[in-house]
């Protein structure tokens, strides 16, 4: 077997994990209190078990409803009296039942946020190691020993609740600046009593929690600990200190999950790493912690390839890998490793579409409220099956096998062809250029897009391994369409760059020409247009050594992005010395510069190369649609409107399942899902 270490069994406590792949806790376990959220939430968690993982962890259940709650909207209940709210108990128990039905270990994550509470309910106080005001402006009361005893008991009672619900164990969330980290970190714990100062003192309360839990659940129930190897803060916790702490509690635990960072500085500290962080950023800290304990030690964070996991385990750095967002991108990760199809794994882009941050974390540009966020979590840019409003496994078969013509070989066309073929149709895909991939060709060059390049190549490989008739260098003219005689035509002709009527535009080049290999870019570059294309292309050039200035009319650059990804992108631009000029109008493009105007007046920016990224426009397709005649026609991807990859994959998949659908199949309005 190619991945002999990754796919080998592992002893954890008194159970055996069938391999070394664990699905990390994501989202919020109690979201299943909402009947509307249950179906897709169960499917999301169960998919990792179906996909071959050894263990699936249900995410973030607060241990009380007084001072532990970080995200609002969940109905309070008493963990000690499950019989008083059997609807919630049965809904939570359903997680364990579904996960375990696939020979998979089921864990539930328990958490107390401590001082990282945000002002959802001002009447509920926040508590932590010391009195302070947190970054959300919430006053935090210093905990006393009564608080500590109460919260230790809360963890113990919540663990017994999960034990009664059928889980094999629990995972304590001791990382990301939550209560465990707050006590262990010398930066956050500045107490002067017996619970502060030395590591031994700072560890007393976390040890109290762990001992209370073990006493409550007995010796055979799994208790695993997620903990920071480092919080990436000055004077914060170190891997060596974490390792020493683990050595003191290893008799009460069954394994260790190493993460990093704090939510108060989430993007920069790597709690959920961005595409600008290294892959597997917690493997090295985990390898240090592993030296202190006999427990199995795993790492989470930016691991999206089996090769990385296999290498780290083979070298003895870790014992298992923990995959979070990767499980949304491709829950079949483990099965594909086992079956030798690792080259078809859709690798997580770390783009934050699945969890873009929350308003309470300072992201005021999100297009939804905190309550809506809990329902939104779990979308994926490259996996169209993630977070669908229906179960793909229950789709009725197509009424007949259609002759399908897909026009366009970009991501939308490729995904449409794959889905249509898998639904039993005879598919022909035509692409007028010599290569498949559409606008994603730029990923072959861009320094920050290896995972998006992998996605493009996976789509191409998926098409190639199916009996799909692919015709390159073939333009689907109206005459071609008429002669072809398709039952179904899927239009995926994409979009083209807009060229606005700016004076002197002939002196500039469209930004995507950077990736064509023919444009020689000079040292000084001015990019007109600070949307995503302008910023990301400018960042690529900056990393190649060019001096880039981005000119943008709006109040901020990368305005169409939001939340965590926008923060990560702008931070990366700043770190690499890119200059941005928001609230600045381009007046004229000169042969050797750009004349601009802003609040400081007019000025001319010198440039060796001038680029523009001023939007995209849909390629006209009316003639193609008319030529289809009586055929069933679907319009997908940028042909609906210029957008991002998630629009391409989702609209293409849903069009593919719509072909020759039964009359009793309720229409799911794939455009509506995109627009939502």
Which of 376, 411, 433 terminates a domain? The answer is 376
- Mean per-residue pLDDT, 402-427: 98
**What does the pLDDT read at residue 670?**
44
- Tell me the angle at which helices 411-422 and 450-464 cross, rounded to the nearest 10 degrees: 40
As a whole number of angstroms, the distance between CA 30 and CA 46 comes to 16
Instruction: Tell me whether residue 402 is in a domain.
Output: yes
Q: Residue 185 has what DSSP assignment? A: -
The reply to whether 551 and 538 lie within a common domain is yes
Q: Residue 122: pLDDT above 70?
A: no
Q: List alpha helices for 283-367, DSSP H.
A: 283-290, 306-314, 326-329, 333-338
Instruction: Tell me whether residue 585 is in a domain.
Output: yes
Paired strand residues for 528 = 551, 612
Q: Residue 489: pLDDT above 50?
A: yes
Q: Residue 84: pLDDT above 50?
A: yes
The reply to whether 630 and 546 lie within a common domain is no
As a whole number of angstroms, the distance between CA 225 and CA 101 comes to 24
- Mean per-residue pLDDT, 508-535: 97
Q: Residue 669: pLDDT above 70?
A: no
Contacts of 626 (CB under 8 A, 6+ apart): 478
* Paired tokens of 303: 């691991």
56 and 105 in contact (C-beta within 8 Å)? yes
Q: Point out the least confidently predicted range of 9-23, 26-40, 167-181.
A: 26-40
What does the DSSP assignment read for 558-615? Answer: STT--HHHHHHHHHHHHHTT-EEE-S-EEEEEETTEEEEEETTEEEEEE-SEEEE---
Q: What is the mean pLDDT of the chain?
A: 94
The reply to whether 356 and 492 lie within a common domain is no
Q: Residues 198, 201, 203, 209: what is their CA dihedral angle, to the nearest 10 degrees?
A: -170
What percentage of residues in the chain have a pLDDT greater than 90?
87
As a whole number of angstroms, the distance between CA 175 and CA 255 comes to 14
**What does the pLDDT read at residue 535?**
99
Instruction: Tell me whether residue 637 is in a domain.
Output: yes
Q: Residue 434: pLDDT above 50?
A: yes
Q: Residue 668: pLDDT above 60?
A: no
As a whole number of angstroms, the distance between CA 296 and CA 241 comes to 18
Banded model confidence at residue 676, pLDDT cuts 50, 70, 90: very low
237 and 186 in contact (C-beta within 8 Å)? yes
CA dist 616 → 31, 123, 642 (Å): 38, 49, 6
Please write the tens of the pLDDT for every residue from 329-384: 999 999 999 999 999 999 999 999 999 987 767 788 888 777 777 778 889 999 99
- Mean per-residue pLDDT, 319-333: 98
The reply to whether 185 and 288 lie within a common domain is yes
- Mean per-residue pLDDT, 383-404: 92
617 and 377 in contact (C-beta within 8 Å)? no
**What does the pLDDT read at residue 675?**
33
Banded model confidence at residue 160, pLDDT cuts 50, 70, 90: very high
Q: Residue 599: pLDDT above 80?
A: yes
The reply to whether 106 and 212 lie within a common domain is yes
As a whole number of angstroms, the distance between CA 497 and CA 541 comes to 19
* Paired tokens of 396: 């009725």
How many domains does the chain divide into?
3
Beta strands in 411-453 (DSSP E): 426-430
Please write the tens of the pLDDT for every residue from 547-598: 999 999 999 999 999 999 999 999 999 999 999 999 999 999 999 999 999 9
CATH of the domain at 404: 3.40.50.720
Please write the tens of the pLDDT for every residue from 137-149: 889 999 999 999 9
Instruction: Tell me whether residue 387 is in a domain.
Output: no
As a whole number of angstroms, the distance between CA 114 and CA 509 comes to 52
As a whole number of angstroms, the distance between CA 534 and CA 203 comes to 48
As a whole number of angstroms, the distance between CA 505 and CA 501 comes to 7
Instruction: Quote the domain boundaries for residue 628.
Output: 395-496+617-675
The reply to whether 642 and 590 lie within a common domain is no
**What does the pLDDT read at residue 360?**
67
Banded model confidence at residue 664, pLDDT cuts 50, 70, 90: low
As a whole number of angstroms, the distance between CA 569 and CA 558 comes to 8
CB atoms under 10 Å from CB of 623, counted, come to: 10
Look at the alpha carbons of 581, 586, 588, 591 in this order and tell me if their dihedral is positive or negative.
positive
CA dist 650 → 614, 637, 643 (Å): 25, 8, 12
Q: Pick the residue with more confidence: 378 or 120?
A: 378
The reply to whether 606 and 622 lie within a common domain is no
The reply to whether 470 and 547 lie within a common domain is no
**What does the pLDDT read at residue 666?**
54
Q: Point out the least confidently predicted range of 152-166, 363-377, 495-509, 616-630.
A: 363-377
As a whole number of angstroms, the distance between CA 36 and CA 39 comes to 7
**Phi-psi category of residue 558: left, alpha or beta, with phi > 0 → left and psi -120 to 50 → alpha:** left
Q: Point out the least confidently predicted range of 186-195, 357-366, 403-412.
A: 357-366
Q: Pick the residue with more confidence: 276 or 375?
A: 276
Q: Residues 163, 169, 170, 171: what is their CA dihedral angle, to the nearest 10 degrees?
A: 180
Beta strands in 18-104 (DSSP E): 21-26, 55-62
Q: How far apart are the first and last CA of the chain?
A: 44
CATH of the domain at 168: 3.20.20.70
As a whole number of angstroms, the distance between CA 277 and CA 267 comes to 9
The reply to whether 209 and 347 lie within a common domain is yes
Instruction: Tell me whether residue 577 is in a domain.
Output: yes
Which of 341, 376, 411 terminates a domain? The answer is 376
The reply to whether 411 and 366 lie within a common domain is no
Q: Residue 298: pLDDT above 50?
A: yes
What percentage of residues in the chain have a pLDDT greater than 70?
97
Q: Residue 674: pLDDT above 80?
A: no
Banded model confidence at residue 120, pLDDT cuts 50, 70, 90: low
- What is the 3-state composition of the chain as percent helix, strand, coil, each rounded to the nearest 5? 35, 20, 45
CATH of the domain at 542: 3.50.50.60
Which of 574, 597, 614 terminates a domain? The answer is 614
- Tell me the angle at which helices 411-422 and 645-658 cross, rounded to the nearest 10 degrees: 30
Rg of the chain over all Cα atoms, to the nearest angstrom: 27
Please give the biggest Cα pair distance in the chain: 85
Q: In 3-state terms, what secondary structure has residue 226?
A: strand
**Residue among 339, 354, 466, 451 at smallest CA distance from 414:** 466
Instruction: Tell me whether residue 388 is in a domain.
Output: no
Instruction: Tell me whether residue 174 is in a domain.
Output: yes
- Mean per-residue pLDDT, 429-446: 98
Banded model confidence at residue 157, pLDDT cuts 50, 70, 90: very high
* Paired tokens of 332: 């079949």
The reply to whether 317 and 342 lie within a common domain is yes
Q: Residue 615: pLDDT above 60?
A: yes
427 and 421 in contact (C-beta within 8 Å)? yes
What does the DSSP assignment read for 33-55? Answer: GSHHHHHHHHHHHHHHHHTT-SE
Instruction: Tell me whether residue 563 is in a domain.
Output: yes
Q: In 3-state terms, what secondary structure has residue 285?
A: helix
Q: What is the pTM of this model?
A: 0.95
161 and 168 in contact (C-beta within 8 Å)? no
Banded model confidence at residue 242, pLDDT cuts 50, 70, 90: very high
CB atoms under 10 Å from CB of 189, counted, come to: 21
The reply to whether 591 and 468 lie within a common domain is no
Q: Residue 30: pLDDT above 70?
A: yes
């Amino acid at each position: 077997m190619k991945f002999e270490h990754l796919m080998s069994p592992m002893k954890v406590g008194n159970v055996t994990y069938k391999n070394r792949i664990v699905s990390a806790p994501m989202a919020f376990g109690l979201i299943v209190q909402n009947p509307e959220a249950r179906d897709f939430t169960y499917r999301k968690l169960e998919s990792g078990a179906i996909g071959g993982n050894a263990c699936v962890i249900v995410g973030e259940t607060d241990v009380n409803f007084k001072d532990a709650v970080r995200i609002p909207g969940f109905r309070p209940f008493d963990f000690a009296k499950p019989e008083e709210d059997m609807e919630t108990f049965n809904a939570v128990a359903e997680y364990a039942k579904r996960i375990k039905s696939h020979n998979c270990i089921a864990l539930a994550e328990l958490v107390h946020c401590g001082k990282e509470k945000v002002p959802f309910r001002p009447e509920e106080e926040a508590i932590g190691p010391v009195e302070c005001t947190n970054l959300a402006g919430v006053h935090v009361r210093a905990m006393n020993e009564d608080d500590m005893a109460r919260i230790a008991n809360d963890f113990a009672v919540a663990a017994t609740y999960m034990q009664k619900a059928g889980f094999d164990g629990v995972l304590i969330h001791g990382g990301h600046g939550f209560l465990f980290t707050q006590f262990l970190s010398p930066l956050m714990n500045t107490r002067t009593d017996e619970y502060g100062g030395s590591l031994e003192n700072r560890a007393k309360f976390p040890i109290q929690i762990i001992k209370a839990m073990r006493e409550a659940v007995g010796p055979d129930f799994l208790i695993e600990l997620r903990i920071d190897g480092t919080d990436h803060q000055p004077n914060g916790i170190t891997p060596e200190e974490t390792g020493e702490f683990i050595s003191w509690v290893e008799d009460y635990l069954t394994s260790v999950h190493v993460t990093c960072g704090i939510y108060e500085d989430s993007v920069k500290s790597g709690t959920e790493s961005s595409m600008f962080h290294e892959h597997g950023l917690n493997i090295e800290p985990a390898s240090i912690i592993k030296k202190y304990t006999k427990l199995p030690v795993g790492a989470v964070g930016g691991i999206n390839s089996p090769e990385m996991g296999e290498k780290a385990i083979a070298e003895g750095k870790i014992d298992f890998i923990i995959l979070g967002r990767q499980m949304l991108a491709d829950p079949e990760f483990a099965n594909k490793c086992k079956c030798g199809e690792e080259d078809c794994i859709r690798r997580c882009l770390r783009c934050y579409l699945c969890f873009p941050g929350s308003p309470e974390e300072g992201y005021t540009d999100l297009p939804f409220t905190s309550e809506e966020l809990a329902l939104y979590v779990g979308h994926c840019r490259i996996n169209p099956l993630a977070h669908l409003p229906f179960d793909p496994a229950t789709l009725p078969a197509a009424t007949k096998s259609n002759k399908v013509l897909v026009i366009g070989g970009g991501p939308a066309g490729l995904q449409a062809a794959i889905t249509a073929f898998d639904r039993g149709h005879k598919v022909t895909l035509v692409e007028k250029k010599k290569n498949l991939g559409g606008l994603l060709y730029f990923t072959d060059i861009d320094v920050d897009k290896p995972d998006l390049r992998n996605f493009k190549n996976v789509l191409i490989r998926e098409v190639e391994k199916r009996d799909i008739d692919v015709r390159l260098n073939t333009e689907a003219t109206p005459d071609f369409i008429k002669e072809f005689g398709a039952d179904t035509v899927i239009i995926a002709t994409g979009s083209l760059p807009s060229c606005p009527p700016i004076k002197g535009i002939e002196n500039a080049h469209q930004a995507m020409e950077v990736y064509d290999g023919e444009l020689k870019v000079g040292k000084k570059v001015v990019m007109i247009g600070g949307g995503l294309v302008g910023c990301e292309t400018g960042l690529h050039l900056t990393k190649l050594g060019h001096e880039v200035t981005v000119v943008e009319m709006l109040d901020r650059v990368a305005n169409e992005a939001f939340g965590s990804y926008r923060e990560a992108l702008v931070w990366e631009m700043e770190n690499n010395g890119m200059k941005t000029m928001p609230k600045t109008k381009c007046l004229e493009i000169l042969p050797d510069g750009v004349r601009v105007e802003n609040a400081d007046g007019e000025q001319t920016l010198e440039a060796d190369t001038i680029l523009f990224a001023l939007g995209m426009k849909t390629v006209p397709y009316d003639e193609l649609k008319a030529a289809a005649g009586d055929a069933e026609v679907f319009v997908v991807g940028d042909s609906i409107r210029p957008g991002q990859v998630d629009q391409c994959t989702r609209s293409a998949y849903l069009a593919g399942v719509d072909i020759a659908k039964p009359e009793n199949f309720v229409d799911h309005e794939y455009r509506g899902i995109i627009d939502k």
